[in-house]
Amino acid sequence: MVTSWRSLRRVTLVLGLSMLVQSAALPAGAKDAGNYRIYPDNLFGVALGGQASVVSGYHGALFVSADGGRAWVQQDSGTDDLLRRVKRLPGGRFVAVSHRGAIMMSDTAGHGWRVVHTEAGQYLRDVAFADDQVGWAVGHNGLILRTTDGGNTWTPFGISDYKGRDLPRLSGVVALDKSHALAVGEFGVVASTSDGGATWKIVTEQVYPTLLDVAVAGSGGYAVGLNGTLLALSMSRAGEWTMKPLPSKTMQHLLSVALSADGSKGLIGGNGLLLTLGKSGFEPAMVVPTVPLSYLWVGGSRSARTVSRWRSARAA
């Protein structure tokens, strides 16, 4: 079953790396658009919900929509860092991470961005919050940062039982609740924590290609990565995670994955492709002819609805 773009966009917003900024509306007095790279490889992250939606990208690019994505207004991030990912906290604030180790936060309208933490010499690739207080950020050299005070302070942790020669670059993290989270990254690493991030244990490594993103709804989800890698994730009642490789029918890199609250709808973005989750698995999405998908890397996707609480879904 091929899902039409018209029906898909009601559930999920997808970010094409050059699509959005070309139609962004700049307010009077804002920085000139020429300060940003208006061509492919510009945008990487997208966050939805609450008062606003936010996208992030190269040279500190931040754009905010207050009308469901019809118009986008440039924000001053105060940095020229590449903002790799942006996420919305359950309470409505936004958080972004940069390639120079900065963690930035805004208010619920996506305004007033400020740096709350800098991890010198580190490339941070993703961030996720379980609630308004507890969250994790991940990056190069196996770095995992945890906050328990809403992002004011961050404490570094690492993977406890990784056996590889070089520490992995961690590219994706998902927060399930205050105690449980998953991280994925280089060398096919999947790591989990069940004690609030104090310890992270390897679920799998050196089996799959580099993994770039992860999404979970209830006790299941997906991880995606290089060379069309698609893994189905499943957690037992005992809290143990298992991986099952699925056919993606492509060797193109899969860069991002998002799921609806119940896990029945999903979206994968990648190198010149967009896949939607149907009854028979992920299949190519129907995209309007005005979008030259084959020339785009779709680097960020996010569900338009809040993912249900992991603990309650697991109990069911």
Per-residue pLDDT tens listing for the chain (316 residues): 333 434 444 444 444 444 444 444 444 444 444 444 444 448 999 998 878 999 999 999 999 999 988 899 999 999 999 999 999 999 999 999 999 999 999 999 999 999 999 999 999 999 999 999 999 999 999 999 999 999 999 999 989 888 888 999 999 999 999 999 999 999 999 999 999 999 999 999 999 999 999 999 999 999 999 999 999 999 998 889 999 999 999 999 999 999 998 899 999 999 999 999 988 899 999 888 888 888 788 888 887 654 333 333 333 3
Block residue for tokens 């469901």: 68
Indicate the pairing of strand 73-75 with strand 83-88.
unpaired
Q: Alpha helices of 215-306 — where are they, by DSSP H?
A: none
Please, what are the domains in the chain?
A: 5-315 (2.130.10.10)
CA distance 128 to 197: 12
Q: Are 129 and 95 in contact (CB under 8 A)?
A: yes
Contacts of 7 (CB under 8 A, 6+ apart): none
- Among 59, 150, 135, smallest CA distance to 98 is for 59
Contacts of 11 (CB under 8 A, 6+ apart): 260, 265, 303, 304, 305
Distances from the Cα of 50 to the Cα of 15, 89, 109, 116, 251, angstroms? 18, 10, 8, 22, 36
- Among 294, 233, 269, smallest CA distance to 45 is for 269
CA distance 101 to 314: 34
Residue 255 parent element (H or E): strand 254-259
CA distance 206 to 211: 11
CA distance 287 to 292: 9
Q: What is the pLDDT of residue 160?
A: 83
Q: What tokens were used for 200?
A: 């992270």
Q: Which residues of 171-198 are buried (b: 16+ CB within 10 A; e: fewer)?
A: bbbbbbbebbbbbbbbbbbbbbbbebbe
What is the sign of the dihedral through the CA atoms of 49, 263, 171 and 122? positive
Q: What tokens were used for 288?
A: 């309007």
Q: What is the pLDDT of residue 239?
A: 85
